[in-house]
């Protein structure tokens, strides 16, 4: 079980980043992996804060979620004999930092600028290789420094997407239980309980979680980290990724860049909950309250495209048994999407 050693969440907590590094006995120089926008928001600031405490650092600007960006970061880190990687940004920077750190076998600190997906804490990285989205095993961050002042100012869509990624734990757990019963798959009660509780909490708080509020940013970040911890306990992404994630990945394959990961996971959860015979209306209502999309039209996705993604979702990660293995026909997929009002 690999877990972060320090999780610091709070308003203005970024000012203590150098002290966190010192407490963890980390050594510079540090490579700060960030994006062109996030560099202005936080990347340069981290560099200044580290310099004050005698840490040398260099900023690496990432431009795309591609594996060759990891090669570029790795080269720079090797040339400058970096001892530490700090990711300051959203999904892209964090994923690149995660993989660079494992290649160099040096620690990495995650500084998320948005609460948009559970990758801020997980050991999985999702990057594009030869045009295909691939999930690669990396490492859990040694520390997470989540500044709610910064995160609360991220675009509202990102927070809603993060909630969609957490709510997807509902169907991920149902799929896991199915695999346990039908395939005798290894199952962790602790991981499943933590993952379910986290999703339930977001549903219960759906009417109070609002973008721009630091308290909301705090709740969602904590929930994303809890999902990450559940995955660490399980030793796989099982507690937070089931049939709804397969649908999200299939959508990205068929119609790339239409929507955010968490938005697709949210839509997928409504449909998969229906297929499981569960309370899909509760999921849909919560997503609606959170401002997340609850129909294909809101994401400018054609009904045919959505049905095709549903019918092909089972081709993604076929070794992971889910409700889709019962054999979802295209007609039944269309019906499920219609009944739930997705199309």
Where b means 16+ CB within 10 Å and e means fewer, 7-38 reads bbbeeebbebbbebbeeeebebebbbbbbeeb
Q: Taking contact as CB under 5 A, which single stretch among the options 127-135, 165-173, 273-281, 294-302 is the one that binds Zn ion? A: 165-173
Nearest to 171 by CA among 313, 290, 297: 313
Q: Taking contact as CB under 5 A, which single stretch among the options 24-32, 142-150, 162-170, 224-232 is the one that binds Zn ion? A: 162-170
Least separation, in Å, of the C-beta of 133 and Zn ion? 12
Distance set, CA 28 to CA 80, 108, 133, 204 (Å): 11, 12, 32, 43
- Closest to Zn ion by CB, 169 vs 295, is 169
Least separation, in Å, of the C-beta of 281 and Zn ion? 22
Looking at beta carbons, which residue is closest to Zn ion?
165
Instruction: Name the strand (E) or helix (H) holding 151.
Output: helix 148-151
Map residues 107-146 to x or -, x wherever contact with Zn ion holds by CB under 5 A. Answer: ----------------------------------------
How far is C-alpha 130 from the chain's CA centre?
22
Query: Which residue in 165, 175, 244, 308 binds Zn ion (CB under 5 A)?
Result: 165
Least separation, in Å, of the C-beta of 2 and Zn ion? 18
Nearest to 32 by CA among 59, 72, 71: 59
Q: Taking contact as CB under 5 A, which single stretch among the options 31-39, 61-69, 163-171, 292-300 is the one that binds Zn ion? A: 163-171
Contact 159, 263 (CB under 8 A): no
- Interior angle at CA 77, CA 139 and CA 73, nearest 5: 70
Q: Taking contact as CB under 5 A, which single stretch among the options 6-14, 157-165, 185-193, 223-231 is the one that binds Zn ion? A: 157-165
Q: Taking contact as CB under 5 A, which single stretch among the options 40-48, 63-71, 164-172, 268-276 is the one that binds Zn ion? A: 164-172
Tell me how far apart the alpha carbons of residues 88 and 39 are, in angstroms, rounded to a whole number: 8
Bond prior to 94 in cis (omega within 30° of 0): no
Least separation, in Å, of the C-beta of 329 and Zn ion? 26
- Closest to Zn ion by CB, 55 vs 247, is 247
- Closest to Zn ion by CB, 89 vs 228, is 228
Least separation, in Å, of the C-beta of 164 and Zn ion? 9
State the angle between helix axes of 303-312 and 330-339 in degrees (0 to 180), rounded to the nearest 10.
120
Q: Given the rule CB under 5 A, which residues bind Zn ion?
A: 165
């Amino acid at each position: 079980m690999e877990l972060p050693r320090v999780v610091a969440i709070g308003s203005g907590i970024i000012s203590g980043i150098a002290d966190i590094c010192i407490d963890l006995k980390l050594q510079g120089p540090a490579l700060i992996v960030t994006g062109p926008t996030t560099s202005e928001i936080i990347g340069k600031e981290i560099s200044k804060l580290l310099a004050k405490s005698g840490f040398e650092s260099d900023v690496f600007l990432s431009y795309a979620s591609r594996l060759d960006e990891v090669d570029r970061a790795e080269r720079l880190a090797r040339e400058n004999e970096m001892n530490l990687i700090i990711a300051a940004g959203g999904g892209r920077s964090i994923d690149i930092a995660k993989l660079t750190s494992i290649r160099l076998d040096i620690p990495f600190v995650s500084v998320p600028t948005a609460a948009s997906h559970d990758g801020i804490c997980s050991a999985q990285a999702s990057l594009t290789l030869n045009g295909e989205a691939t999930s690669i095993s990396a490492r859990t961050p040694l520390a997470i420094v989540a500044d709610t002042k910064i995160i609360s100012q991220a675009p509202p869509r990102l927070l809603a997407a993060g909630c969609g990624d957490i709510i997807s734990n509902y169907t991920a757990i149902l799929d896991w239980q199915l695999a346990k019963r039908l395939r005798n798959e290894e199952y962790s009660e602790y991981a499943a309980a933590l993952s379910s509780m986290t999703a339930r909490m977001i549903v219960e708080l759906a009417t109070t979680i609002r973008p721009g509020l630091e308290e909301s940013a705090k709740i969602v970040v904590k929930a994303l980290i809890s999902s990450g911890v559940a995955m660490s306990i399980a030793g796989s992404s099982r507690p937070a990724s089931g049939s709804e994630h397969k649908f999200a990945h299939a959508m990205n394959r068929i119609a790339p860049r239409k929507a955010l990961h968490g938005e697709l996971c949210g839509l997928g959860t409504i449909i998969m909950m229906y297929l499981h015979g569960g309370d899909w209306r509760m999921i849909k209502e919560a997503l609606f309250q959170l401002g997340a999309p609850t129909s294909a039209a809101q994401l400018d996705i054609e009904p045919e495209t959505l049905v095709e993604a549903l019918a092909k979702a089972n081709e993604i990660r076929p070794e992971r048994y889910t409700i889709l293995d019962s054999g979802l026909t295209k007609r039944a997929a269309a019906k499920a999407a219609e009944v739930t009002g997705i199309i």
